[in-house]
């Protein structure tokens, strides 16, 4: 599959690049995508939730009424979960939600996500660019030129593009990542995936190891 290379003004440079069939043209594996996205979202959870159980509630341990003869259920502590202000039964405890996936499965998921976007014509290849200064307006001008100002977009850049990253940081609908930061969730969550020209070979190398 050949794709035209655009400049940052949205103009066709007259050049075309060949997208690797083994990265951008495979049959998507839905289950691999599901597992990789599930792991990504699980890793975003802090897992710091905590509620107090009956042993952690501050309160008297006095037996609040006699054992028999009241006509109601026996009760031994005001901290019992059945009373208001008592501990919670089986409440949440701090835990990690992360789980392990092997490298080959994660690579398959990312190749599947890129293939889906390529099939839907949601991939845009631009020539390499950088900014001299950090300025959000510079990045919004690029978005307008590529007609992406009202769409979710993911920019995949090669090497150190710190000024581009910092210029995009204020924008909620656009995200800039390096090749190493590419993930399945980010690819599928974007309406358009914009890849710099030099990133294509690096993506191919990373996903073919």
The pLDDT value recorded for residue 1 is: 79
The pLDDT value recorded for residue 114 is: 95
With residue 111 as reference, give the H or E element that holds it: helix 103-119
Q: Are 188 and 209 in contact (CB under 8 A)?
A: no
The pLDDT value recorded for residue 36 is: 97
**CA–CA dist 103, 109 (Å, integer):** 10
Domains, the chain, in order of start with CATH, read 2-46+97-206 (3.40.1370.10), 51-91 (no CATH)
The pLDDT value recorded for residue 158 is: 84
The pLDDT value recorded for residue 142 is: 93
Question: pLDDT digits over 30-63, tens only?
Answer: 999 999 999 999 999 999 999 999 999 998 889 9
**CA–CA dist 15, 4 (Å, integer):** 6
The pLDDT value recorded for residue 161 is: 75
Block residue for tokens 């009241």: 70
Counting residues of the chain whose pLDDT is more than 90, the rounded percentage is 73
For the packed helices 30-44 and 103-119, what is the interaxial angle rounded to 10 degrees? 110
Query: What contacts 78, CB < 8 A, 6 or more positions away?
Result: 59, 60, 62, 64, 85, 86
**CA–CA dist 26, 203 (Å, integer):** 15
The pLDDT value recorded for residue 195 is: 93
- More reliable by pLDDT, 54 or 208: 54
Question: pLDDT digits over 82-134, tens only?
Answer: 999 999 999 999 999 999 999 999 999 999 999 999 999 999 999 989 898 99
Question: pLDDT digits over 143-163, tens only?
Answer: 999 999 889 999 999 876 789
- pTM of the shown model: 0.83
**CA–CA dist 128, 199 (Å, integer):** 9
Block residue for tokens 């070979």: 201
The pLDDT value recorded for residue 50 is: 95
């Amino acid at each position: 599959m050949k794709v035209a290379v655009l400049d940052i003004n949205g103009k066709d440079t007259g050049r075309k690049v060949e997208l690797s069939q083994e990265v951008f043209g495979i049959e998507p594996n839905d289950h691999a995508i599901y597992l990789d996205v599930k792991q990504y979202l699980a890793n975003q959870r802090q897992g710091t939730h905590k509620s107090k159980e009956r042993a952690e509630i501050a309160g008297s341990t006095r037996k609040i009424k006699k054992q028999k003869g009241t006509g109601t259920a026996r009760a031994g502590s005001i901290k019992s979960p059945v009373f208001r202000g008592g501990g919670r039964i089986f409440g949440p405890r701090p835990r990690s939600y992360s789980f392990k996936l092997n490298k080959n499965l994660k690579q398959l998921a990312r190749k599947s996500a890129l293939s889906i976007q390529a099939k839907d014509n949601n991939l845009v290849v631009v020539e390499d660019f950088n900014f001299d200064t950090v300025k959000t307006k510079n990045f919004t001008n690029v978005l307008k030129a590529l007609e992406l100002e009202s769409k979710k977009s993911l920019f995949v850049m090669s090497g150190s593009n710190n000024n581009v990253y910092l210029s995009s940081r204020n924008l909620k609908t656009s995200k800039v990542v390096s090749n190493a930061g590419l993930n399945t969730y980010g690819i599928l969550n974007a309406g358009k995936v914009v890849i710099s020209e030099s990133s294509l070979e690096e993506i191919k190398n990373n996903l073919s190891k």
